[in-house]
Amino acid sequence: MLEVKNIQTYYGNIQAIKGISLEISEGEIITLIGANGAGKTTTLMSISGIVPPKFGDILFMGEPLQELSPNQIVALGISQVPEGRRIFPYLTVMENLDMGAFLRNDTDEIQKDLEYIFDLFPILAERRHQSGGTLSGGEQQMLAVARALMARPRLLLLDEPSLGLAPLIVKQIFKIIRKINQENKTTIFLVEQNANLALQVAHRGYVMENGRITLSDTSQNLLANEDVKKAYLGI
């Protein structure tokens, strides 16, 4: 479904990604784990076109993405939950969700998706007329995921959904991620620091270090790998 071929991404003169390749097939949950500053978020930003790669190719369903603008990429069916939630604090929950459906005009279908989302996150239905900034961290994260789902993506990019949340809420969010994947067949690319949890949910995983991918295997194998255990699982 998504093929990333040897991309290199720069912030000005600083190279954040030094040539990585990865592959995601339809219906999978793939995780990318690594330490701070490894280039995980940049990889997502490259895929979504917000920080386009300087070299290399990204193919989505056979279509090259690196020339497209972020809004065209969203239109193809890739939507991103940015790091640190980034909901719109002064818009209500409803309006936040409507912003997620910005490129869609099919009112009836939006309505259906909305009901589905309120099913997934009942707390958002309760708070729907509250402004986003008044939600708690966990609720904001749920809103961020829900907002991205409103675009009805085929590929959902999740950037650190566990960031700054209580363990119990993290568990809840991961449960929902799995549910989205199973019920909608939405492919999920999950970037995480919490390697343990991420590998438990994902089918396969990539390990990133200093802008390069150093390991790639199934989740079970990665969880059993001695190096991964030492570096990321703290066992």
H helical segments located in 49-101: 70-76, 93-100
Q: Cβ closer to another protein: 19 or 70?
A: 70
Q: Can residue 129 be called a binding residue for another protein (CB under 8 A)?
A: yes
Q: Can residue 89 be called a binding residue for another protein (CB under 8 A)?
A: yes
Integer Cα distance of 53 and 45 in angstroms: 9
- Which of 34, 39, 53, 82 binds another protein (CB under 8 A)? It is 82
- Which of 87, 124, 149, 195 binds another protein (CB under 8 A)? It is 87
Residues near another protein (CB under 8 A), total? 39
Q: Can residue 219 be called a binding residue for another protein (CB under 8 A)?
A: no
Neighbours of 128 (CB within 10 A): 15
Q: Can residue 130 be called a binding residue for another protein (CB under 8 A)?
A: yes
Residue carrying structure tokens 């604090």: 89
- Which of 59, 68, 110, 123 binds another protein (CB under 8 A)? It is 110
b/e map of 136-147 (b: 16 or more CB within 10 Å)? eebbbbbbbbbb
**Footprint of another protein on 146-205 (CB under 8 A):** 147-148, 151
Integer Cα distance of 146 and 156 in angstroms: 11
* Binding track over 28-67 against another protein, x by CB under 8 A: --------------------xxx-----------------
10, containing H or E segment? strand 2-11
